[in-house]
Amino acid sequence: MSLIKLHNVGKVYMLGEMKVEALREVSLGIESREYVAVMGPSGSGKSTLMNTLGCLDRPTSGSYLLDGKEVAKMSRDARANLRNRKIGFVFQNFNLLARTSAVQNVELPLLYTPGISGRQRRRRAVEVLEKVGLEGRLNHHPGQLSGGEQQRVAIARALVNEPAILMADEPTGNLDSRTSKEVMGILQKLNEESDITIILVTHDQNVARCAKRTLVLRDGRVVEDTSDFDRAIHALHFSGEET
């Protein structure tokens, strides 16, 4: 059974009296330990798909099974509980607390996990910071860290709950090319050595190329789903210039 299974998923938003179909009959499966990039022009539905897969929102129609559980009919609280157990998030802007140390930032998700003591939280936070190469920066605040180091803290925070899935939304958007390569190397290592399923949204072809499979969206539909990156880029260009 697929870790993620979407069948005819649709998402409709109402903007005043106008109906916007952000996703249209999306069907796909993602297996455990896959590494998938999501690409498409602005307005293609990338963010909506990410929010749906991440249990941040639920579809208007269709079925979404996450590890065999139907997300489409879950309450907000049930989705939050599933999200906390199964999914870690990494964002373009890091979303770190400025007046909190690296290790304290990483501990935060564990505050919502019952049965974990303060000592256990600290131990797990230190372990994941060491995994991303920040063992010497545990007590530094975000303002004392480079952009790449801040993103490493964000990755560590996403990993501290030991999720099955890591979702990354433009994870290199605020980084220079050298630092981007370092961050992508971390994600690739997590996928290959820690068996974490990675799903990332990106407009950067060099970032998407690191994935083993690419989904291309246009007008809320998946127009290409392939492990052939050249084919994905052809579909992307055919749908218009990405932004």
**pLDDT tens readout for residues 44-57:** 999 999 999 999 99
Q: Determine the Cα–Cα distance for residues 47 and 201; give it in Å rounded to an integer.
A: 8
pLDDT at 19 over 50: yes
Domains of the chain: 4-238 (3.40.50.300)
Q: Determine the Cα–Cα distance for residues 179 and 21; give it in Å rounded to an integer.
A: 36
Q: CA 40, 44, 49 angle in degrees (round to 5)?
A: 95
**Alpha-carbon dihedral sign for residues 51, 56, 59, 65:** positive
pTM of the predicted structure, to 2 decimals: 0.91
Over range 96-101, report the average pLDDT: 95
21 torsion bin: left (phi>0), alpha (psi -120 to 50), beta (else) = beta
pLDDT at 157 over 50: yes
Residue 243 pLDDT grade (very low, low, confident, very high; cuts 50, 70, 90): very low
Q: Determine the Cα–Cα distance for residues 104 and 96; give it in Å rounded to an integer.
A: 10
pLDDT at 70 over 60: yes
Mean pLDDT of the chain: 93
Over range 165-186, report the average pLDDT: 93
Residue 239 pLDDT grade (very low, low, confident, very high; cuts 50, 70, 90): low
- Per-residue DSSP letter, 209: T
- Are the C-beta atoms of residues 67 and 59 closer than 8 Å to each other? no
CA dist list (Å): 141 to 57, 103, 124, 174, 230: 32, 9, 18, 18, 41
- For residue 203, which amino acid is it? H
